[in-house]
Amino acid sequence: MTASAPATSRPISRLRSIVSGSIGNLVEWYDWYAYSAFALYFAPVFFPKGSPTAQLLNTAAIFAVGFLMRPLGAWLLGAYADRHGRRAALLLSVRLMAGGSLLIAATPGYARIGVAAPALLLLARLVQGISVGGEYGTSATYLSEMAGARHRGFWSSFQYLTLMGGQLLALVVQLGLQRLLTPAELGDWGWRVPFVIGAVAAMGALYLRTHMGETAAFEQHQLGVLSADAEGEGPAPSRGQMHLLRQHPRAVLTVVGLTMGGTLAFYTFTTYAQKFLVNTAGFSKEQATLISFGVMAVALLFQPLMGAISDKVGRRPVLIMFGLGATLGTVPLLRLLAHTHDAWAAAGLLIAALFVVSGYTSISAVVKAELFPTSIRALGVGLPFALTVAIFGGTAEYVALLAKNQGVEEWFYWYVTGCAFLSLLVYWRMGDTRDAGMMDD
């Protein structure tokens, strides 16, 4: 078992651990999103020459495959976190992310090593998929357990704030490189720089996480497990965490339902939006990057705001706000965005979209954490979430680009709308986890 820091209970120590965990989360998601931010530049490097849309389809396919590893990461690291501690699992996830980033940065292109180039790119994304799959459930659990009951929605919103902050940081690096390097230099070697930065930053995050405290909830649970083992009452090792998870089918299905529409809408209006602005609306790559940067900077502010609102009015009303907005607004908003040629108008539309989406993103972590007891929380949050994201979020870009390539782009708009509606039904029927959740205080 990995040695852990003492449980954290004092307000200052608790805040320090939340900040350290959040910064580590930001770095992990920067590494993950750097792939999407720079795909426009490295797609021709890793794949044979063809149409830009076809090359983007190849990179989007690998992006989606990386998502398929997230359930495995959620299972492995979630079970590890529930057995050995949230802190130990977070340390392992950041090591894996650093390794994946270094591999992408160092891999030669298709012109030099042929099919080995996309194969190594795929391997790197598989490793990063395992990392980020374990990161979500464990960090969501860590932040939710570390926060006090009164402000749990607010502090847990930092999970998605730093997730989006990682994407924003990737855009900052992209903007900087676009100003420092020519398009030819970016396409030749400049796209490797962000992955080197990510690997180095991950080492810094690793240092911060070694000084985080373990959550009091986990430490108290461990004391109970040790007492039960001493009396011969512990769970059979062969059954373990998955056996415990099967005892909460309603909570698992609730995670799937509330995630489906939220993750698809999130990836539509963040990672895919940049490509949509270029391929559909007709903006340049540089304009699309600037718009995405401004939009994400504003959208960050929505997370703690909505999280704090959920502490006052409950989680369910905030989720219903997202479900209604996404169901009614996705098709008209994307239609407007497709025919918008003014950068300010495009930014305004995307900000409006992400304000609605923040009704899901801001409290996604805390709602899921409040559905499960301490003994199975990291796995319960992470595994069904990762499976759902792999199916709906990870394939968002690929489905959207495929629809565009087939000349039926609006089908994707209705696909997002349908998934949002199904999630809305779940929000409407579920109880409010703020008042009836399973989080120990």
pLDDT at 265 over 80: yes
What are residue 325's DSSP bridge partners?
none
| pLDDT band (50, 70, 90) for residue 334 | very high
Q: Which of 318-322, 324-328, 371-375 has the lowest mean pLDDT?
A: 371-375
CB atoms within 10 A of CB 21: 27
What are residue 7's DSSP bridge partners?
214
Nearest of 88, 74, 81, 79 to residue 132 by alpha carbon:
74
Amino acid at 146: M
Q: Which of 41-50, 90-99, 410-419 has the lowest mean pLDDT?
A: 41-50
Q: Is residue 35 part of a domain?
A: yes
pLDDT at 43 over 80: no
CA 53, distance to chain mean position in Å, is 25
pLDDT at 381 over 50: yes
Enter the tokens of residue 333. Answer: 């908003």
| pLDDT band (50, 70, 90) for residue 224 | low
Q: What does the alpha-carbon distance between residue 1 and residue 214 come to, in Å, rounded to a whole number?
A: 14
Residue 358's contacts (CB-CB under 8 Å, 6 or more residues apart) are: 299, 302, 303, 305, 306, 322
Q: Is residue 236 part of a domain?
A: no
Burial of 407 (0-12, 13-18, 19+ CB in 10 A): exposed
| pLDDT band (50, 70, 90) for residue 12 | low
Q: Is residue 441 part of a domain?
A: no
- Residue scoring higher pLDDT (12 or 222): 222
* Largest CA-CA distance found in the chain, in angstroms, rounded: 70
Whole-number average pLDDT of the chain = 83
Q: Is residue 6 part of a domain?
A: no
Query: Which whole-number Å values give the CA distances from 149 to 13, 383, 441, in the listed order?
Result: 16, 24, 6
Residue 343's contacts (CB-CB under 8 Å, 6 or more residues apart) are: 283, 287, 290, 291
Give a three-class secondary structure readout of the chain: CCCCCCEECCHHHHHHHHHHHHHHHHHHHHHHHHHHHHHHHHHHHHCCCCCHHHHHHHHHHHHHHHHHCHHHHHHHHHHHHHHHCHHHHHHHHHHHHHHHHHHHHHCCCHHHHCCHHHHHHHHHHHHHHHHHHHHHHHHHHHHHHHCCCCCHHHHHCHHHHHHHHHHHHHHHHHHHHHHHCCHHHHHHCHHHHHHHHHHHHHHHHHHHHHCCCEEHHHHHHHHHHHHHHHCCCCCCCCCHHHHHHCCCHHHHHHHHHHHHHHHHHHHHHCHHHHHHHHHCCCCCHHHHHHHHHHHHHHHHHHHHHHHHHHHHHCHHHHHHHHHHHHHHHHHHHHHHHHCCCCHHHHHHHHHHHHHHHHHHHCCHHHHHHCCCCHHHHHHHHHHHHHHHHHHHHCCHHHHHHHHHHCCCHHHHHHHHHHHHHHHHHHHHHCCCHHHHCCCCC
CA 38, distance to chain mean position in Å, is 18
- What is the pLDDT, as a whole number, of residue 309? 95
- What is the pLDDT, as a whole number, of residue 56? 67
Q: Is residue 4 part of a domain?
A: no
Nearest of 41, 34, 348, 62 to residue 168 by alpha carbon:
34
Q: Is residue 372 part of a domain?
A: yes
pLDDT at 230 over 60: no
CA 408, distance to chain mean position in Å, is 28
Q: Is residue 358 part of a domain?
A: yes
The mean pLDDT value for 420-439 works out to 85
- What is the pLDDT, as a whole number, of residue 186? 87
What phi and psi values does residue 122 have, to the nearest 5 degrees?
Answer: -65, -45
| Rounded percentage of the chain residues whose pLDDT exceeds 90 | 27
> Are 156 and 140 contacting, i.e. CB atoms less than 8 angstroms apart?
yes
> Are 355 and 269 contacting, i.e. CB atoms less than 8 angstroms apart?
no
Enter the tokens of residue 176. Answer: 């900087």
- What is the pLDDT, as a whole number, of residue 237? 40
- What is the pLDDT, as a whole number, of residue 13? 65
Give me the number of domains the chain comprises: 1
Rounded to 5 degrees, what angle do the CA atoms 311, 317, 320 make? 140
pLDDT at 411 over 50: yes
The mean pLDDT value for 252-270 works out to 93
pLDDT at 234 over 80: no
Nearest of 86, 87, 83 to residue 222 by alpha carbon:
83
Question: Using one digit for the tens of pLDDT, what is the confidence trace for 159-194?
Answer: 888 888 888 888 889 888 988 988 888 888 898 999
Q: Is residue 5 part of a domain?
A: no
Q: Which of 135-144, 164-173, 192-201, 239-248 has the lowest mean pLDDT?
A: 239-248
Instruction: Provide the residue range defining the domain that includes 126.
Output: 11-225+244-434
Enter the tokens of residue 255. Answer: 């995670």
pLDDT at 313 over 80: yes
CATH code (residue 72):
1.20.1250.20
- What is the pLDDT, as a whole number, of residue 382? 85
The mean pLDDT value for 77-96 works out to 87
Between the two ends of the chain, the Cα-to-Cα distance in Å is 26
Enter the tokens of residue 164. Answer: 């989006």
Q: What does the alpha-carbon distance between residue 194 and residue 82 come to, in Å, rounded to a whole number?
A: 33
Nearest of 222, 210, 227 to residue 4 by alpha carbon:
210
| pLDDT band (50, 70, 90) for residue 121 | confident
| pLDDT band (50, 70, 90) for residue 404 | confident
- What is the pLDDT, as a whole number, of residue 326? 96
The mean pLDDT value for 95-120 works out to 86
The mean pLDDT value for 180-209 works out to 88
Enter the tokens of residue 139. Answer: 């960090």
- What is the pLDDT, as a whole number, of residue 350? 96
